[in-house]
Amino acid sequence: MVSPSDSAVVEARSAPRTTAGRSLAVIGLTIPLMLLIDYAVSYATVVALFGGLPFVLIAAILIAFAVLAGGIALLSTAFTGRPAILGGVVAAGVLTCAGAFGLVHGILGPLALQTDALLHVAVCALAALTLGIFLGPMPLQVAGAVSAAALVAVLALVPTPTETAAVDRANAEADRSAEVKASWIRSGKFPLVTDLAGWSNVEVRATGTDAATWVRSDTGSVARIIIQWNAVEPDPLAPCNFIGGPGREWDRGPDQLPSWCVRTGDQWSRSDGTAVYSYDAGTGTTMWIMAFGGYDAERVGGSNAATAEDIAALIPSLHPMSREDAERYLLPTFDGIDSPEVQTPDL
């Protein structure tokens, strides 16, 4: 036989389980109630936004709050014998605040439009779990507190549409940049460099449609080479503009070459030989090389402008940079026409 004391012990041990089970029943039934309220308010939100009726939304929120708090109180009374009015008000307030925050920040779209349904379910479930703080027992109170913190974390961590769009743009830009770089490497249209003894290629810029290289001799002479790929045949007078400079004015009529610009076939040169522009119809490229002194020479570690003899010696030594050097020096910072100038002391 079971003694009265043993029965009391069994009942005492089973009471928390019964309380926990009933509290869980209240929470479980609160979730679909919250989803129903959420759907109704979201429908009112759509009507208010598209109909220009803000009072509809305000009325819907107030009514929904009262219905939800009252419904929770009825469920709590039915299952636990206690109305848990404060718990119902807090849970309704949590859902209202979470919904308003999500709507304002674009995290939660209206449930009536069937957007973000899983996130709506998660928010309702976490909001309902906060009832555990008021219904007990202790494990549910802890779970309720954790769910409140989790709800804040969810709303804080879910990216807003602006943040999502920014990430999408960044990813698209990264993909575009990678494709542009790959296309450029495949093209082989790299800057010209020299392998002439006594000269080094000290600064290079790759710009996609044209590429520039600064070269410097061991004695400090400096010149710049530019090549344009996929170029069209230039106007007969235009190359003189590219190889001009201080003291070289257009001293003849608009349809005549200036006195310092000499044309020989598809090549235009300064009369003193310090700059040459050429066009290759076979490859569709234009190239011009110019001597630079003063600040430009000093900027790249030189001291004086290249001479006419230097220019004449450099021209036949020019060739496109190797793919290996292009990948090493230029690819990391390649950005099409916005590519920067890169120092290449070892090239």
Contact 293, 304 (CB under 8 A): yes
DSSP code, position 330: I
Structure-model confidence comparison of residues 325 and 45, the more confident one = 325
Q: What is the mean pLDDT of residues 256-268?
A: 92
pLDDT at residue 318, as a whole number = 94
Lowest mean pLDDT among 99-103, 104-108, 197-201, 280-284: 104-108
What six digits make up the tokens of 250? 């257009």
| Position 9 pLDDT exceeds 70 | no
Model pTM score: 0.56
Q: What is the mean pLDDT of the chain?
A: 85
What are phi and psi for residue 302, nearest 5 degrees? -95, -175
Is pLDDT at 1 greater than 50 in this prediction? Answer: no
pLDDT at 209: 59
Residue 289 has what pLDDT?
Answer: 95
Distance between CA atoms of residues 133 and 139, nearest Å: 9
Are the beta carbons of 91 and 127 closer than 8 angstroms? yes
Q: Dump pLDDT digits (tens) for 111-144.
A: 777 777 888 888 889 888 998 888 888 888 898 8
More confident of the two residues 337 and 263: 263
**What pLDDT, on a 0 to 100 scale, did the predictor assign at position 15?**
43
Q: Where are the domains of the chain?
A: 4-160, 189-247+257-343
* DSSP letter assigned to residue 63: H
* pLDDT attached to residue 208: 60
Q: What is the pLDDT of residues 194-223, one digit of tens each?
A: 999 999 999 999 876 578 999 999 999 999
124 vs 176, residue with greater confidence: 124
Contacts of 255 (CB under 8 A, 6+ apart): 237
What amino acid is encoded at 166 in this protein? A
Element (H, E) at 154: helix 138-157
Per the model's pLDDT, the better-predicted residue between 215 and 107 turns out to be: 215
Q: How far is Cα 90 from Cα 339, in angstroms, rounded to an integer? A: 58
Three-state SS at 224: strand
Peptide bond into 83 cis (omega under 30): no
- Cβ partners under 8 Å of residue 32, min gap 6: none
